[in-house]
Amino acid sequence: MGEEQVLNQNLQEASQAVPNKNLIRDIIGTIFDPVKTYKNVLGIGYWVGILIVILLVAAGLEQIYHSQVMALTIQKMQERAGENAGAMQGAMSFYQNEALTRIVFFGSTLIGQIIALLIGTVLYFFVASILFGGTAKFKQVWVVACWGYVIILVQMIIKTPLIMAKRNVEAGLNFGLIFTEQMVGSKLHSAFSAVDLFGIWHFIVVGLGLAVLYKFTNRKGIGIAFIVWLLLTAVSATVAYLT
C-alpha cells in the first residue's frame, strides 16, 4: 500500500511538471506571475493562441474608437491643408468615408500589431543574442514577445474608455498627463505622451521572459529589455515631436 501511494504521488508530480496549454490561465499568469508563466509557455513553445487574441482585441478596440481616430486625422490634415489643398481634399474625402476606413483600419491594425511584434522580437534577439552572447532561437524570442504583449492588451482595454470619455486618441496613462500641453507646448507634449507607463510594465515582463529563456538573472533580462525600451521610446518620442 505504501509503494502504491509513492507511485501515485510520483505520477501526480510528473503530470504537474509537464507544461500544458491553457490560454486564459497563461494570460492571467503573464500579468501576475510572469516568470512561472514563461517557464510554461517556453516549455511548450506555443504562441498562436495569444497572437490571435492580440490581433482580434487590438482590431476590435480600434473599431470602438475609430471615429475619434478619424476626427484627429482629419483635424491634422485640415491644419496642413494650405501646403497642398488639392491633394489634401482628395485624402480628406477618403477619411470622411467611415464605412470604407473602418475596413481599411481593421486590416491595417492587424498588420500593425504583427509588425510591432516582429520589430520587438528582432531587437530583443539582437541585443540578447548578439550583444550579450545569449543562446536561443528566434522563434523562442518570438514566444517571449507575443506573451509579453498581454500587457499591451491590458493597456488597450484601459485606454479605450479614456479615449471615448475624452474624445482624444492620445488619452492614456503616460507622461503627457504630467507635462501638459499648456506647460511644455504641443510638440513636447506629444513626445512625453509617447512615454507610456504600461510600456515600462511591458518591458519589465518581457525582461523576465528573456531571463527565463536565456537563463540570465532577472536583473540582466530586464536590463536588456530596458535597452530595447529606450530605443523604441526614443524613436516614437522623436517621431511624435517632429509630427
More confident residue, 218 or 74: 218
238, three cell numbers: 522623436
Helices 66-79 and 85-95: angle between axes, nearest 10 degrees:
170
Q: Give the single-character DSSP code of 196.
A: B
Does the structure show a pLDDT above 60 at 14? no
**What pLDDT digit, counting tens, does each position of 146-183 carry?**
999 999 999 888 888 877 776 766 655 665 555 556 66
Mean pLDDT of 45-54: 96
Q: What share of the chain is helix, strand, coil (3-state, %, to 5)?
A: 80, 0, 15
Q: What pTM, to 2 d.p., does this model score?
A: 0.79
Q: Residue 196: beta bridge partners?
A: 174
pLDDT at 128 over 60: yes
* pLDDT at 15 (0 to 100): 45
- Rounded Cα distance between 138 and 78, Å, is 44
C-alpha–C-alpha distance, residues 170 and 195, integer Å: 11
Rounded CA-CA distance 207/227 in Å is 10
CA 18/CA 1 separation, integer angstroms: 26
How far is 43 from 38, CA to CA, in rounded Å? 8
Give me the residue spans of the domains in the chain.
Answer: 26-242
Q: Position of cell 475609430?
A: 66
CB 216 within 8 A of CB 227: no
